[in-house]
Amino acid sequence: MLALGQSKLAGIIKPIGLAPAKSKNIINTCKILLKKHDGQVPGSREELEHLPGVGRKTANVVLNEGFDKPTIAVDTHVFRVANRTGLAPGKTVLATELKLLEVTPEKWLKNAHRYLILHGRYTCTAKNFDCQKCVIEKECGFTEKTAV
C-alpha cells in the first residue's frame, strides 16, 4: 500500500466513494501499523479505534472478521432493522449495538450483523420494505399498516 502512494491508491478505491479521505487514512494506518504494531493489525477495539478513519463500527467488523470475535457492527441497515422490528430499539448506534449483544443468542453472535445487514439491504429497506417477503414478519413489531 505504501509503495502505491496515496494518489494511486485513491484511483484504485475511487468506486467505493470518498477515495481522497480513505486513501489518506489507509496510507497513514499502514505507517502506524509498521511503526507501532510490527506490521500487524491490533486485536483490541481500543487500539483499532486509534487508527485513522477507524470508528467503532469498523473496529467491530475487524474484530469479527479478522479475529473471530463475536461482535455486532451496527451500520445504517442494522440500526434501522433493529429499531423497526423492535429487536433492539435504541436511540443511538451504541445503544442498539449493546442491546443486540444482549438479545442475540451466543451461537448467532458471530454472524448476526451479516444477517441483519442483508435483511436491511434487500427486504427491510429504508423506503421499499417488503413485509410480505419477510421471514420474521410474525415476530416483527412493525407492519406496513403502521408505516407513515
Q: How many CB atoms lie within 10 A of CB 57?
A: 19
Do residues 113 and 58 lie in contact, with contact meaning Cβ atoms separated by under 8 Å? no
Q: Specify whether 68 is catalytic.
A: no
Residue 3's alpha-carbon distances to 7, 114, 142, in angstroms, are 11, 33, 51
Q: One of 75, 91, 127, 130 is an active-site residue; which one?
A: 75
Q: Which of 8, 35, 38, 57 is labelled catalytic?
A: 57
By CB neighbour count within 10 A (0-12 exposed, 13-18 middle, 19+ buried), where does 95 fall?
A: middle
Judge whether 75 counts as a catalytic residue.
yes
Q: Tell me the catalytic residues.
A: 57, 75
